[in-house]
Amino acid sequence: MFDGLDVTGVGLFSPQLTWDVVRRLKDTTRMKLVLKGIETREDAELCLRHGVDGIIVSNHGGRAEESGRSTIECLPEVVDAVGGRIPSLPRGLSMG
């Protein structure tokens, strides 16, 4: 199923995890593809462009980015960008 797709070392900060990998995963399986960790309008639009089936809005507990924005602060921007075309779910609604 993942023939030709090297996912060795793919992790949260891996440069190998690109939008091309997302598209290839989507093209390889009939399963729904949901991405967690989307925080911005731009990334939500990229999710749509690459065929993602759903988004989990999350700042990974603040460990993965430097803006200091909480998930609840990111949610309206992502939901607006998606415009109801795919589900956008909040994760970890802490206020900081």
The better pLDDT of the pair 80, 5 is held by: 80
Q: Is 60 considered catalytic here?
A: yes
SS3 content of the chain, % helix, strand, coil (to 5): 35, 10, 50
Distances (CA, A) of 10 to 6, 7, 53, 75, 85: 9, 5, 21, 26, 28
pLDDT at residue 12 greater than cutoff 50? no
Distance CA 34, CA 62 (A): 20
Contacts 24+ apart (CB under 8 A), 16-23: 19/46, 19/49, 19/50, 22/47, 22/50, 22/51, 22/52, 23/50, 23/51
Q: Return the domain boundaries, the chain.
A: 33-90
Mean pLDDT score, 36-65: 86
pLDDT at 66: 64
pLDDT band of residue 96 (cuts 50, 70, 90) is very low
Catalytic residue among 60, 62, 86, 92: 60
Sheet-wide strand order for 54-57: 34-38, 54-57, 88-90
pLDDT at 94: 44
The better pLDDT of the pair 76, 58 is held by: 76
